Amino acid sequence: MEIGIQVEISNGHLRALFKDNTHSPEILSGIETLINLQDAPEFDAYDPDNPGASAGLNFEHIICGHSNPANAFTPRKGKYTLSRLADRNSVMLVRHQDDSPWAVSSWLKYTVEAPHYIDFEFECNPHEHRKFGDRGYAIFFFANYMNDVGEVPIHFRGIDRQGGAEKWIAGDAPEGHPDWNQGGTYRNTNAVALEYDTDHNFKLNVWSYDYPRYSKPFYYGLAENDMVFMLMFDRACTPHDEIRFSIFKFKLPQKPRPAWDFQYVIHKVESNKQYGFKGRLIWKRFISPEDCLAEYETWAKLLK
């Protein structure tokens, strides 16, 4: 097992550069560079101009339902060690509980798979549930700071009203909610809104739209050069946890570079219990919405 601040992996059509927290927050942990050598060999999926706000599958926040100084950016602070694994196509970031103000130990594994996939897996262990307060939930927020996109919204299967038929939804995080701040979050059809204190210091990543809601746990976004960026997950909403989709537009309109993000929510944190999820990232030439749906359905079958 090799330990270092960066590891480059090429497999199939993809070349990815992974980094740790050695130089954070100036350079973020996760995937710094992602290139599809066949479909867009000169185009990085992620913002190439702003290292302090550019990364993919970047573990960015842990958030509780109360005001807390640790709600914002604490995964950027403290050691997050990167190792290349024996299969040579995988890396893992590991954080110990002593390096987290939330007393959460965690690891995040990335595997580059041919022809254009990155499979990822996150596991965490909250060692002191009391740190999350009376509301009891924890939000683990992951960022994707994109390069130039062809369209700002993320696209997902969902419903736009209670009882509505499933269809393709374009989510561009419109204004309207009192805590809106350049973006917002979409939850599953079976999920309920998270309650949070009125004096919460990081509301932008806690509230979510009532509608539309997603019905299948994947979304795609259209980037420049006819590329598609897809994220898919092994769960939507269970009694214990859920996935939520987020989009933020802090770099717009100066540059067409939204953040296509997601959240993993634990509904009721218990001490010394393992939590986590699996996902797949796709970076390839866009074919059609139906092709994106087929990619998700094919991967979902592999999980069974």
pLDDT in tens, 133-160: 999 999 999 999 999 999 999 999 999 9
Q: Where are the domains of the chain?
A: 2-303
pLDDT above 70 for 2 = no
> In whole angstroms, how far apart are CA 40 and each of 35, 191, 195, 227, 296?
7, 37, 43, 8, 22
Confidence of residue 241 (pLDDT cuts 50, 70, 90): very high
Please give the pLDDT value at position 3: 64
* pLDDT score, position 24: 87
Helix (H) or strand (E) holding 297: helix 289-303
CB-based contacts of 239, cutoff 8 Å, min separation 6 = 267
Residue 96: is its pLDDT beyond 80?
Answer: yes
Q: Are 183 and 247 in contact (CB under 8 A)?
A: yes
**Are 267 and 194 spatial neighbours (Cβ–Cβ below 8 Å)?**
no
The dotted CATH code for 2-303 is 2.70.98.10
- Looking up tokens 């993809």 gives 14
pTM over 0.95, yes/no: yes
Give the residue from 103, 106, 107 showing the smallest Cα distance to 128: 103
pLDDT at 25: 85
At residue 304 the predicted structure's pLDDT band, cuts being 50, 70 and 90, is confident
**DSSP of 225-271, one letter per residue?**
TTEEEEEEES-SB-SSEEEEEEEE-TTTTTSS--EEEEEEEESS--T
Tell me, what's the pLDDT at 5?
A: 86
